[in-house]
Structure 1
């Protein structure tokens, strides 16, 4: 069953990612940085700062040096770099609205389809309902917005394809980290994988472009610090921890809290207006979260924690059988020991 704490951590990650969009846009405007530089600083800063903290506290020494752990770190780092690079490139080609709709909207669908194929089982009705509510809400929230430079023709088509690549990278990263890795906690995974992903982005930018520009003002570095710590280190640490019990499809759907938070932040901080369609979309996204919420472990049909009504334990059967045959509990005989529990 999904733990309430893990569900809350994944939801928190979606909210923190929404603040990252505002911080990333502010950083790009203040320092005139391209999207690739913002993505590189986000991964390298978030992973690097967290890595330093883990080294200073000695937590990194407890991570096992196994092939499984190394493989999980490398694959997660490469997928994070691919997601960031593909998404921001899609924004440049097709615009924010289209890139967000395709990348964030396709990810939970890809996860749900993959889970159904690999598990040979259709998603539950509750999951399907949450998918419909969330995707409809995303279209209402983002699809009606307009932005400059939305692209056209082959550029827009290329942007959509890049957004699908981003969706696939995020969906795969979510699926492979479902349930966690023995010996590898969420924070060490975030620190090691994102430091690697940031290095990959810096290297790629140096080879195919002018390299990653460095912020030149105190405000720029403050934004980099916030972007690295809050919507990257803290958010992905919470996300990977929550994946221990939260199903991958539910986690990908909860990630849609990112555009909802970004929209609310833009309304409150940037004085943007939210039309009727956007308001309906926000309500639908919130409804999807309510539908996905974990069910309580206790209910009126439960006799006790973990025991359903009508179920009897082995000890109950032993007691009943002993009472019927001899009128005395077998467990009362000291030679037989206590009744099994």
Structure 2
């Protein structure tokens, strides 16, 4: 049950991103906020994760030897950082073209489905009946939430925006499966997430010279950058990856649908947004789907049918 709670806590932190940006200073852009967020968050993630990994290694002196760092696990580690870096521009492309509701729905709703299908293709193991039922309910809830939207409003769809949102969902699905393969190969979860932090920070730092960072000169901008970096990246991904060590990639991805649930609640209580009846029904169905998945994930994860060569 603890892995489930860890991933849900990560989803809660992820869900504060939109509200934090809405309360942030003027002059921010999705690309500048995203780049700064990952440079700070990726660096903090690496420092926290590698520190925990060293402590974990000292406690496991008598355990199995650490797998060797060959090109295959190294490529998977870099892949997770790359996917984390490209997730945000794709996500914001979708929200810019289709609005926050539809863009978020497509990105987060597609992630668990794509993660489950990718895991099925890699492992030849069909998802469990509980996962199928819970994911169907949670995805339906997200769709109703997005298309219900705010009371009295409507949003159109743009094909390029939809592709961007699906691409964001696919990026997250790849992260979950790549990390799952590294964990199955014997890599410590904190080493895995630390490598993702380093890779994403280095990639995002390359974008800093090309974005406007004037908003960082304000105290509100500094607070925003630190929270988005340390809270929603460093801490959140340590929790997510630790939880993933006890769950399937499909289950972990579905549990992260708690993000739109959190974002919607914050939108209502903090930003004063009003949801339609359809969106409220979506929130209830989404919560029920997450509860079903949490209940079905009480037993330990089945042994993985494959391992990455170390």
Q: Quickly name the TM-score band, shorter chain normalised.
A: 0.7 to 0.9
Matched ranges for 1:190-269 at <5 A: 190-204=193-207, 206=209, 209-210=210-211, 215-269=216-270
Equivalent residue for 1:170?
Answer: 172
Contact 2:32–2:211 (CA<8 Å) still a contact in 1?
Answer: no
Name the count of aligned residue pairs: 288
Check 1:61–1:136 CA distance in 2 against 1; reply closer, same or farther (3 A cut). closer
Flag structure 2 segments of 5+ consecutive residues without an equivalent.
58-65, 301-310
Between structure 1 and structure 2, the one with the greater Rg is 1
Sort the Cα spacing of 1:163 and 1:268 in 2 relative to 1 into closer, same or farther, 3 A. same
1:25 paired residue number: 22
| Pairwise CA distance, 1:295 | 5.3
Structure number with the bigger relative contact order (C-alpha 8 A, sep ≥ 6) is 2
CA change 1:190–1:44 in 2 (3 A) is farther
Aligned match of 1:96: 100
Distance of 2:99 and 2:131 partners within structure 1: 29
Match of 2:275 in 1: 274
Do the aligned partners of 1:126 and 1:291 also contact (CA within 8 Å) in 2? yes
Q: What is the aligned partner in structure 2 of residue 40 from structure 1?
A: 35
The CA deviation at 1:238 is 0.8
Structure 1: stretches of 5+ with no match in the other structure = 299-341
Give me the whole-angstrom Cα distance separating, in 2, the residues matched to 1:256 and 1:184: 26
Map of 1:310-329 to 2, 5 A cutoff? Answer: none
**How far 1:184 sits from its partner (Å)?**
4.4
> Are the equivalent residues in 2 in contact too, given 1:42–1:224 (CA < 8 A)?
yes
Deviations 1:94-137 (A, max 9, x none): 22122112111111111222233344444332222112211110
1:106 aligned to 100, 104, 110, which one?
Answer: 110
Structure 2 SS opposite 1:274: coil
Q: Deviations over 1:294-326 (max 9, x none)?
A: 45559xxxxxxxxxxxxxxxxxxxxxxxxxxxx
1:330-341 to 2 correspondences below 5 Å:
none
TM-score, normalised via structure 1 length: 0.75
Q: Partners of 2:241 and 2:67 in 1: how far apart?
A: 18
Q: Normalising by structure 2, what TM-score?
A: 0.82
Q: Which stretch shows the higher mean deviation, 177-186 or 235-244?
A: 177-186
- The whole-number CA distance in structure 1 between the counterparts of 2:128 and 2:186 is 31
1:94 and 1:77, CA in 2 relative to 1: closer, same or farther beyond 3 A? same
Residue of structure 2 in register with 1:307 after alignment? none
Q: CA RMSD in A?
A: 3.0
Q: CA deviation at 1:143?
A: 1.7
CA contact (8 A) 1:126 1:292 kept: yes
Give the 3-state SS of the residue equivalent to 1:177 in structure 2: helix
Partner of 1:302: none
Q: Assess, with a 3 A threshold, how the Cα gap between structure 1 residues 286 and 179 changes in structure 2: closer, same or farther.
A: farther
